[in-house]
Amino acid sequence: MANPIEKRYEFVLFFDVENGNPNGDPDAGNLPRIDPETSLGIVTDVCLKRKVRNYVDIAKRDKEGNTLPGYDIYVRESHALNAQHRKAYSFIGREPEPKKLPKDVAEAEKVIRFMCNNFFDIRTFGAVMTTEVNCGQVRGPVQFNFARSIDPIVQQEITITRMAVTNEKDLEKKDREMGRKYIVPYALYRVEGYISAYLAQKTGFSEDDLNLLWEALINMFEHDHSAARGKMASRKLFVFEHETALGNAPAHKLFELIKVEKVDSSKPARSFHDYVIRFDSSKIPQGVRCEEKL
């Protein structure tokens, strides 16, 4: 793998949803997630990481559809994690002991290194791999906060009609069925993230991985469209690059330089153009560079 990154980064991504459910809450009937005290919409970090994984899984394949070396995805739908772990033990040529890493330190390191080198999402986000087939635990250099909407959202319930029934016997009583669909008419969300050069040294997260992450954040909604999610798109991506691995300013101070204003506060927003995003470049600390990638 390429050399790990040597600088600290933070980023701010703005994305929006129109007539869709960006992240349903299974504990609330799949309604869009919401902060009950402020009515601001929420999208979890897990949801966003899933979309990054899905994009990388599409982007890093050859013409025959095979995953390129080093860009396999660890957390896959309908895949058992232990099966992924066994690949590492096959690589070092030994059988795993139940729930234990190899006692030999060098062999244990080879197992963990294999997982980092071969799985993009472990190298990026880290993973807890202490299952029956134990591959250790890795803390990833890239972490997201929860995304929150700029304004309170309305969890709108839409009644829909399906022009068919489920069972043949139902045809005697009806020829269609009713259902529910939950949407947010419009919302602009903001998510902040962190990238540690020190943790990147441990997982091998490289400059190529970093560029792929930016690419994924920009394009992850383009291959995730569905009737449930409506129209979603990444709108703005600000990246703060420090001169050093330790960093040159606190992350929260950098995030405060980016503010969002509503063009007309007298009516609800229904478009990205109902907002203005401002970055105060005059207050950026020495040793930090900001790039607008989208």
User: Tens digit of pLDDT for each residue in 106-129?
Assistant: 999 999 999 999 999 999 999 999
**Domain presence at residue 28:** yes
Give the whole-angstrom CA distance, residue 289 versus residue 226: 37
Which runs of E-coded beta strand occur in the chain?
Answer: 9-20, 24-25, 31-32, 40-43, 126-130, 134-139, 142-144, 147-152, 156-162, 177-195, 231-242, 258-262, 275-279, 288-292
Determine contact, residues 230/21, Cβ cutoff 8 Å.
yes
**Domain presence at residue 50:** yes
**Domain presence at residue 170:** no
**Domain presence at residue 150:** yes
**CA within 13 Å, CB half, 212:** 22
Its domain, for residue 252, covers 9-157+181-292
pLDDT band for position 258 (cuts 50, 70, 90): very high
pLDDT at 1: 55
Provide the mean pLDDT of the chain.
Answer: 94
Helices 81-92, 105-118: inter-axial angle, 10-degree rounding: 120
For the chain, the domain total comes to 1
Percent of the chain having pLDDT more than 70?
Answer: 99
**Domain presence at residue 167:** no
**Domain presence at residue 204:** yes
**Domain presence at residue 15:** yes
**Domain presence at residue 122:** yes
b/e burial code for range 48-80 (CB count within 10 A of at least 16 → b): bbbbbbbbbbeebeeeeeeeeebbbbbbbeeee
Structure tokens at 215: 């690419």
How many H-runs (helices) and E-runs (strands) does the chain carry?
7, 14
